Amino acid sequence: MMTGPSTLRFGSFLLALPIFAVLAQPAQAQSVTPGFAADYSLTDLGPVSGVPVFYGGLTFKAGDPGKILIGGLANEAGGLIYEASVVRGIDSHITGFSGTAAAIGTVGTYNDGGVVYGPGGVLFTSQWPVNKLGQTKPGNTSEDKVIDLAPLGVAASHSALNFVPAGFGGAGQMKLVSWAGGEFYRAIYAPDGSGTFDISSVTQIDLDTTTPGVVDTLPGGPEGFVYITAGNPGFSANAMLLSEFSTGKIVAYDLDSEGNPLVVTRRELVIDLQGAEGAAIDPLTGDFLFSTFGATGGDHVVVLRGFTELPPGLPEPASALLLAAGLAGLMLQRRKAGA
């Protein structure tokens, strides 16, 4: 029997649920909520051959929509990121997986819900429960850099991240989240001269400024999250989709002018999941894929179909970093002026 972090987290997950939920909500019970059911549908793609439970986050391989990267043995020191081939139907929607997934070298220790590409094609991997962030340069098979987030003020433990896409308020910003407290952060980052990135500071964001004296966080035990553009059914503005591990739900949030979720706008899209974990958008169809962690009968990848807009891209690295540098300079000027 495992006694590592995965076991501890899975135990916390079960304790967080009402007894009736544990007994009455098998993985097959997952469903789209009534407000979205007319436009969206779920397809369970099943397990990914060769990827050990528990599953971590997932993303599509850079430049290859025929493959995904997905975490296996999540939250463990021996965790790895695996590459798996997808099968697509005549309409380009994913219908399953082919072959056996293969590990990408040693990348993925303590992997969690955050597995995303950032500027320069660097693969960023969240590490739970050690509260760290890994970075792997394109083509490499081991992490090139690991940043300890605790000294920067990130609550234990960091679980997922993403970058605000081009065309959104706050484009290019790095956002971090922690499980189980739901603390949401903006990280200031810059190239370190070796192809990876330094993080100079991290600031927790108040997700509801209408409650003075309280720094509001994300409920539900947040994990992987993605950004979607306005125009999708039910979304008149740019939004965030997020996997809630502790509640077993996929939820949506409206955004503020900096790409932060507004907690009072939370809407449920999918319910009755077990351990919603990762989050990714299919670059060919706009479908939303998510992984599970600790589901009865084994972990699966599930796809939510009905999105009509393709995923937004990241800003060009140079412009995003120039913007970040400009904002940092402005903040420094303000601090000096107030001194």
Evaluate if residue 22 carries a pLDDT over 90.
Answer: no
SS (H, E, C) 86-148: EEECCCCCEEEEEEEEEECCCCCCCEEEEEEECHHHCEEEEECCCCEEEEECCCCCCCCEEEE
- Cα separation of 13 and 197, whole Å? 33
**pTM for the full predicted model:** 0.89
User: Can you give the pLDDT at residue 214?
Assistant: 95
Q: Which two tokens stand for residue 50?
A: 């060769």
Residue 260 Cα distances to 57, 69, 101, 310, angstroms: 20, 26, 34, 21
Mean pLDDT of the chain: 90
Q: Kindly report the backbone phi and psi dihedral angles of residue 22, in degrees, each rounded to the nearest multiple of 5, phi listed first.
A: -65, -35
Which among 274, 292, 277 is positioned nearest to 23, based on CA atoms? 274
pLDDT category at 328 given cuts 50, 70, 90 is very low
Q: pLDDT tens for residues 245-303?
A: 999 999 999 999 999 999 999 999 999 999 999 999 999 999 999 999 999 999 999 99
Evaluate if residue 324 carries a pLDDT over 90.
Answer: no
pLDDT category at 12 given cuts 50, 70, 90 is low
Q: pLDDT tens for residues 103-127?
A: 999 999 999 999 999 999 999 999 9
User: Can you give the pLDDT at residue 29?
Assistant: 82
Neighbours of 266 (CB within 10 A): 18
User: Can you give the pLDDT at residue 273?
Assistant: 96
**Domain edges within the chain:** 5-338
Q: pLDDT tens for residues 198-214?
A: 999 999 999 999 999 99
User: Can you give the pLDDT at residue 174?
Assistant: 99
User: Can you give the pLDDT at residue 332?
Assistant: 38
Buried b (16+ CB within 10 A) or exposed e, 106-144: ebbbbbbbbbbbbbbebbbbbbbbbbbbbbbbeeeeebb
Mean pLDDT, residues 77-87 taken together: 99
Q: Residue 35 in 3-state DSSP?
A: coil
Which among 326, 324, 325, 285 is positioned nearest to 303, based on CA atoms? 285
Evaluate if residue 1 carries a pLDDT over 60.
Answer: no
Mean pLDDT, residues 301-315 taken together: 96
Degrees to nearest 5, angle at CA 223 with 221 and 227: 125
User: Can you give the pLDDT at residue 10?
Assistant: 60
Mean pLDDT, residues 136-147 taken together: 99
Q: Are 319 and 172 in contact (CB under 8 A)?
A: yes
Task: Report the share of the chain in percent with pLDDT over 70.
Answer: 85
For domain 5-338, which CATH number applies: 2.120.10, 3.30.70, 1.10.150, 1.10.490?
2.120.10
pLDDT category at 329 given cuts 50, 70, 90 is very low
Q: Which residue has the tokens 């979607």?
A: 228
User: Can you give the pLDDT at residue 28?
Assistant: 56
User: Can you give the pLDDT at residue 315?
Assistant: 87
Length of the chain: 339
Q: Are 222 and 261 in contact (CB under 8 A)?
A: no
User: Can you give the pLDDT at residue 8?
Assistant: 62
Q: In Å, how far from its chain's centre is CA 87?
A: 23
Evaluate if residue 43 carries a pLDDT over 80.
Answer: yes
Which amino acid is residue 28, in one-letter code?
Answer: Q
Which among 162, 176, 174 is positioned nearest to 131, based on CA atoms? 176
Q: Which two tokens stand for residue 35?
A: 């407000």
Residue 271 carries which DSSP code? Answer: E
User: Can you give the pLDDT at residue 6?
Assistant: 67
- Cα separation of 59 and 280, whole Å? 5
- Cα separation of 274 and 12, whole Å? 13
